[in-house]
Amino acid sequence: MIPIKMLQRGLRINAQGVALVDGELSLTYMELARHVDAFADYLQKTLPEPQARIGLCAHNNWQHVVAMLGIFASGHTWVPLNPRNSREELEGIAFASELSLVVTDHEFLPLFEKLELPLVLAAGGAQDRDGIAALCGRHAGCHPTEVLNPDEGIMAIKFTGGTTGSPKGVMQPYRAFMNCIASMLTVFGFGQDERMLTVAPLTHGAGTFILPVLAVGGCIVLLDGAKAPRISDVMIEQRITASFMPPTLIYSLMDHAIENGMQFPALRHLIYGAAPMPSSKVRQAQEVFGPCLAAIYGQTEAPTMITAITASELCDAQNIGSVGRPCPYNDVQIMGPGGDFLPVGETGEVVVKGDLVMRGYLNRPDLTASTIVNGWLHTGDLGSFDERGYLTLKGRSRDVIISGGFNVYPADVEAAIARHPDVRHVTVIAREDDYWGERVEAAVVCAENSLITPAELIAFAREQVGPVRSPKAIHFLSEMPTNPVGKVTRRDVLSAVEALESEGA
């Protein structure tokens, strides 16, 4: 089965029900399916060769969803383009993926003006003859030829690591999407009454929740670029039952909810991913939102659902620091440096095997061969299993700090510092040091009106993790820098710290 069949399943279940909400506009399943069929028919007639690569760069709007699903229904390959990336990055991705066409909102047209590619307007500006709305009208009533691609057909090429050097194009096959959909439905049990708020970019993890929710006849509520006050209002007004967000956005929502005494009684699944959440923040989120916080762990090479932990599991105190158990259709192990599988409690690299794993990196057989070895995808993440099969991550293998000959896992230090009530966000970084080799330092965003000093916070951490792992310096930031998908990266934090030091020099 191919993933677009999930839309057809939802159509059978809930044809007259609302499938998509974008501000004042609502589309029923019948209306959404007609738009998707019309756009897919246009794509097949315009690009008759299967598996053409189509770039999609748009806000979280209904046109974005129609275009994405239309690409799937046409049998072509979706190349998501995040409009928050620079023009240079987008041009590099377009060149590397050999795009045949780009679908983009009017305001993002300048990002692609040098590419000399056919453009389809998604939203904004005059809806001329090349806009999605007009195309869907002209192809109304048409149906695309059924896609007969095998499981290994490439449904998407997603680029990762494009901010330094050449971007890596991850080829995600149909089987990986179906594995992800099946895992989400099995783990979270989405139902027809689901109202999923999609506020994180559709180009990344949030986009993977569209088809699972549509498969059961649920409703997708779109929101783009909103801050905590607007998101909170929409969650209440639209009776949102589920959403996927990075931790940084959840923290903002928590602060706003606490300040304004807001509650979200309909919420059942507040799912976080893309970055770890300290135990103290997990407990606070459970207090603010109720017992609905859940987590997923995945990466572009094995999208979204390597492991997962449900809200009820996360309410168990012994699971607070875990990203859950392997999803039902994956094989996940901890591997040592010699390629041996490690026993319970030992830390090593997380490796995964199964249909979730990518086909490989586009035009990079060398990198593919070093990443997928004997069928096992090497994630680059460090972690360990407990005796109950729950996985705890320690961070990226390249992020391990070797200080004074000892391995220091940033996640352990971050968890310790985050326990202080004055700490809102913390990120541990490594700095070169003549004595230690590498020294541990931390960037911290404090709560409003906090009077804590760096020395006091270092002493607090030292009591919990000892002198070797405690930070040698604390840097106070007004906010933690994030990348275009809202994720905190150590590289960006290090740059912010260096900029702060330069200002004070």
Task: Tell me which DSSP letter residue 208 carries.
Answer: G
Q: Where are the domains of the chain?
A: 29-175, 226-397, 400-504
CATH no., domain 29-175: 3.40.50.980
Residue 82 CA to residue 289 CA, distance in Å, equals 29
* Segment 245-285, tens digit of pLDDT: 988 889 899 999 999 999 999 999 999 987 778 888 899 99
Query: Residue 246: what pLDDT?
Result: 86
CATH no., domain 226-397: 3.40.50.12780
Does the pLDDT of residue 403 top 60, yes or no? yes
Query: Residue 401: what pLDDT?
Result: 87
As a whole-number percent, the residues of the chain with pLDDT over 90 amount to: 72
400-504 topology per CATH: GMP Synthetase; Chain A, domain 3 (3.30.300)
> Taking residues 339-363, what's their average pLDDT?
96
Residue 251 CA to residue 486 CA, distance in Å, equals 12
Average pLDDT, the chain: 91
Query: Residue 438: what pLDDT?
Result: 84
> Taking residues 153-176, what's their average pLDDT?
81
* Segment 190-208, tens digit of pLDDT: 999 999 999 988 988 899 9
Query: Residue 87: what pLDDT?
Result: 86
Does the pLDDT of residue 225 top 90, yes or no? no
Does the pLDDT of residue 505 top 60, yes or no? no
Does the pLDDT of residue 127 top 60, yes or no? no
Amino acid letter, residue 171 = M
> Taking residues 419-441, what's their average pLDDT?
88
CB proximity list for 484: less than 8 A, separation 6 or greater: 82, 84, 85, 201
Q: What Cα–Cα distance (Å) separates residue 448 from each residue in 31, 423, 482?
A: 47, 10, 20
Query: Residue 487: what pLDDT?
Result: 78
Residue 414 CA to residue 443 CA, distance in Å, equals 10
Least confident of 150-159, 186-195, 288-297: 150-159
* Segment 322-332, tens digit of pLDDT: 999 999 999 99
- How many CB atoms lie under 10 A from the CB of residue 236? 15
Residue 53 CA to residue 79 CA, distance in Å, equals 7
Most confident segment among 109-118, 197-206, 340-349, 395-404: 340-349
Q: The whole model's pTM is what? A: 0.85
> Taking residues 185-189, what's their average pLDDT?
97
Q: Record the tokens describing residue 390, joined without a space.
A: 């729950």
Does the pLDDT of residue 167 top 80, yes or no? no
CB proximity list for 400: less than 8 A, separation 6 or greater: 382, 394, 407, 408, 409, 410
* Segment 463-475, tens digit of pLDDT: 888 888 899 999 9
Contact, 228 vs 255, CB < 8 A? yes
> Taking residues 137-150, what's their average pLDDT?
88
CB proximity list for 178: less than 8 A, separation 6 or greater: 1, 2, 3, 151, 355
Do the two domains 29-175 and 400-504 of this chain adopt the same fold?
Answer: no
